[in-house]
Structure 1
């Protein structure tokens, strides 16, 4: 970690761009940012304060916790949704958690293939379905 030689922070508005020396580059948007525009700086993870990047970082942390809960319930032979007890007979194509028929649906899901987004059928739990809004265009 340390200042990026010759780089300036690229955060701020169109007419109020920050011009402070950049210290890191955001892992999500790739823009250099200064100390004032730092949201997270832990180990190799550097996240700027832009709303999209904060949302992605927050979603990733919450999603990791969600996956741990699904895995724990699956190990007990239960559906991945808390409070649901039916046997999990279906797998989410994205998180690979197991769910009952009520908690996973077949949907057309946008997958990135190079520079193109292709809609393909996938079995998706509600949590993974909602995440697409945050990560769209990433």
Structure 2
């Protein structure tokens, strides 16, 4: 499995913890985020992750910013991206099961690092249910 991760200045510590978790699981990580707390523009990092997911360079993406709204809005501009903004592992389960989300967006200013790690674990361990949800997911992208 290969995952792209990106973050702005609100999430370097989150990214480092998540990258460690992923690498410990043997998952290849493509780092498109900043390692510094100096202000950067979140779309610069979100576009890179979303493009990797959209073109199947990676299996999934993870984006981190203060509220996660900006990275989710940016990522969802891509035809094959379904980015879900999540703040609990229960919401993560639903965006995977019902929406087949392929990008997890984490709000660093509204979650703790441990909570983010639990959300990543849930994202990795939850499958899309398909069935009645597939018809709905098929209607998400613009033609």
State the structure with more CA Rg: 1
Q: Same fold (TM over 0.5)?
A: no
Q: Greater strand percent: which structure?
A: 1
TM-score, with structure 1 as normaliser? 0.23
Higher helix share: 2
